[in-house]
Amino acid sequence: MLKADIDTKMKFLHGFSHKTRIQILECIKEKERTVSQIVDDLEGNQSNISQHLACLKGCGLIVGRQDGKYVYYRVRNQLVRDLLTTFDVVLEDVQNDVNCCENHIG
């Protein structure tokens, strides 16, 4: 495998490597939302949520749609939604191992 391919995968996977980003993805998985709606749903702060949205957008996982003064964010496509569902299915099988992992960086 080419080094560029590994680097690209790592950048892509970075989008999934933070609790807040996973929460955002789950929040907008089925329905687009504005930043303020996401902030309300996650009970977070706007600055932090906006930074994570920028990361998710940069990783290619979400897209934004301008409508007047609001930007509506949604998961990029069905493939990303399917990937989030696949994570849940795989985690059902391996969750005990993950929970017991002493190498986990949290």
Cα angle vertex 15, ends 96, 47, to 5°? 115
For residue 22, give the nearest of 46, 55, 45 by alpha carbon.
55
> Which residue segments constitute the domains of the chain, with CATH numbers given?
3-100 (1.10.10.10)
The reported pLDDT for the residue numbered 58 is 93
- pTM, two decimal places: 0.87
Helix/strand/coil for 62? strand
pLDDT (tens digit per residue) in 52-70: 999 999 999 999 999 999 9
In degrees to the nearest 10, what's the CA dihedral of 95, 99, 77, 59? -150
| 37 and 43 Cβ atoms separated by less than 8 Å | no
